[in-house]
Each structure stands twice: as C-alpha cells, then as structure tokens.
Amino acid sequence: MVFLQALQNIGTDKIVIVGSTGMALLTLVIIFFVVMHQRKIKGYHKEMLRLEEEKQHAYLRASIRFQEDERQRIAADLHDDAGPLLATVRLYLNDNLVNQEKASQLQSILSAKQIIDDAILLVRNISHSLMPPTLKNFGLESAVTDLFQKINGSGVIKASARFHDYRERLIIEKEMLAFRVVQELINNILKHSNAGFIHLTENVNHNNLYIRIHHDGRGIVQTEYEKLSVVGVGLGLKNIASRMKVLGGKITFEPDPSNTYYKITLEIPKDGAI
C-alpha cells in the first residue's frame, strides 16, 4: 500500500511538473506573440507618421511652388506687357516733344494717353487676378455666382450655382482660398471631364460650410485624388490639397450611387484663423 501510494504521488508530481511546464511554455508563446503584435502596431504607427509627414511636406512644397508660380506669372506680365507699354509711352513723350509742331505734339500726347490707359487696364487685370473685386466687396457667394454666370454665358456648358445658407461672410483669407479651390476644380472639369453640366450648391451644417460641385463628365474618386495630389505631375490637385490644408477643411471626390454624375464636396470650418 505504501509503495503504491508512493508511485501515485510520483505520477501526480510528474503531471504537475508537465502541466506547469506546459503552462509556462504557453505563457511564453502568448507573451511572444503579444510582443510581436505590439511591435507590428508600433511599426505601423511609425509608418503612418512617416507617410503623414511626407504628405505634409508635399502640401508645403505645393503651396510654396504655387506662390512662386504666382510671383513668376505676375513678374512675366509686368515685364512682357507693362514694360513695353511704358517704354513706348516714353518714346512718345521724349525730350524732343517740345520742339515738335503743335499737331505732332497733340498726336504724341493722345497716343501716349491711349497706351497709358492700356497699361492701367493691364495692371487692373493683374490686380483682379490676385483679388477679384467681387469677392473682396461682396463675398464668396457673389464671386462664385459671377464665375458660373460667365461659364454659362459661353453656351458651351450648362453651369449654375445656388447658395442656401451664406448669411455671414468668412474671413477674407478663407474666402479667397475657398474661391481659388472652386476655380481650380471648375477649371479641371472644363479641361478634362467633357461634362455637359456643372451645378454648385452651398449650405451650412453646425459650424461647417459645405460646397458641393456636381458634374456629369469624367471624374476621379477619393483614392485617385489622394494619390495624384501627392505624386501627380500637375500642380492643380496639389494646390487644391495645400489650400484645403490651410483652410483646415476636407475635400472628397465620389461618384453618385446612380453612376450618372460625380460629386466633389468641400467641408470648410467657418471659425478659426488661418
């Protein structure tokens, strides 16, 4: 009896030892997988931060490039257009003008006046391209409506815009950026989509301004936009992305569920400085 009991105790001890060893191994395996999973999560978050940082740099480069392109365009306009006009005026109003006959003097002065008027108009057009007077004086609704009326007046495409809740103006910097985004989107639609109509609507929900552009031409979806706005060759989508970033807003590209048109939605916070 004593011997059998001893054997039973030995068997029980072995079971306990084997069980304890198995539990320890299982615990180690679980710990190993948990640690590996946590490392994967950390690696994933690190990669996401890297991609986000790259995207931020891309937005910044696009914004800087846009500003530089604007400066170069203005410089080119002044050099190529305004410069020759003023040089021509100088030819008419030269030192020999006082020695000319009255009729020649009058003709030179009238010609110089016409050229000066042309130069004034040129400078005004450059100024308007920087800050459209309709936008400055009357706000985003008037500027966008005016843009769509001009497009519709061409007779090439049906264009309409309707603002529902624009009772308060945004700060002028936000209005300017929002208008430039709308301009760029409309320009892309006119150039690339072969659309028959464009319709824009606006409304306010809580503290956000929503602008939606619908068109029945070829369009892109969100994944294409996110890719092209970072690695695309053209600056259009990059400029849109950088401006939306400054606005603190969101932009989405999606097809209508009926697949009959595309919709672009701008979500812009009303409050907050740029």
Regarding predicted confidence, which is higher, 2 or 184? 184
pLDDT beyond 60 at 9: no
pLDDT per residue as tens digits for the range 37-61 = 777 777 777 777 776 666 665 655 5
Query: What rounded mean pLDDT belongs to the chain?
Result: 80
pLDDT beyond 80 at 95: no
- Measured between its terminal Cα atoms, the distance across the chain in Å is 91
Angle between helices 83-92 and 102-130 in degrees, nearest 10 = 160
pLDDT band at 92 (very low <50, low <70, confident <90, very high): confident
C-alpha to C-alpha distance for 57 and 274, rounded to whole angstroms:
18
Q: Which residue is associated with the tokens 């700060």?
A: 171
pLDDT confidence of residue 124: 73
Task: Tell me if 78 sits within 8 A of 124, measured CB to CB.
Answer: no
- CA nearest neighbour of 217 among 153, 157, 144: 157
Q: Which residue is associated with the tokens 């931020």?
A: 56
Task: Tell me if 237 sits within 8 A of 220, measured CB to CB.
Answer: no
- Beta strand extents in the chain (DSSP E only): 158-163, 197-205, 208-215, 250-255, 262-269
CB contact set of 154 (below 8 Å; sequence gap of 6+): none
pLDDT beyond 70 at 215: yes
Angle between helices 236-247 and 222-231 in degrees, nearest 10 = 100
What is the strand order of the sheet 197-205 is part of?
158-163, 197-205, 208-215, 262-269, 250-255
pLDDT per residue as tens digits for the range 67-89 = 666 666 677 677 667 777 777 87
pLDDT confidence of residue 264: 96
pLDDT band at 103 (very low <50, low <70, confident <90, very high): confident
Q: Which residue is associated with the tokens 């997988």?
A: 33
- The encoded tokens of residue 204 equal 């306010």
Regarding predicted confidence, which is higher, 90 or 169? 169
Task: Tell me if 108 sits within 8 A of 92, measured CB to CB.
Answer: yes
Task: Tell me if 176 sits within 8 A of 233, measured CB to CB.
Answer: no
pLDDT confidence of residue 3: 46
C-alpha to C-alpha distance for 68 and 62, rounded to whole angstroms:
10
pLDDT beyond 60 at 273: no
pLDDT confidence of residue 7: 45
pLDDT beyond 50 at 147: yes
Alpha-carbon Rg for the chain, nearest whole angstrom, is 34
pLDDT beyond 70 at 34: yes
Beta-bridge partners for 210: 203, 267
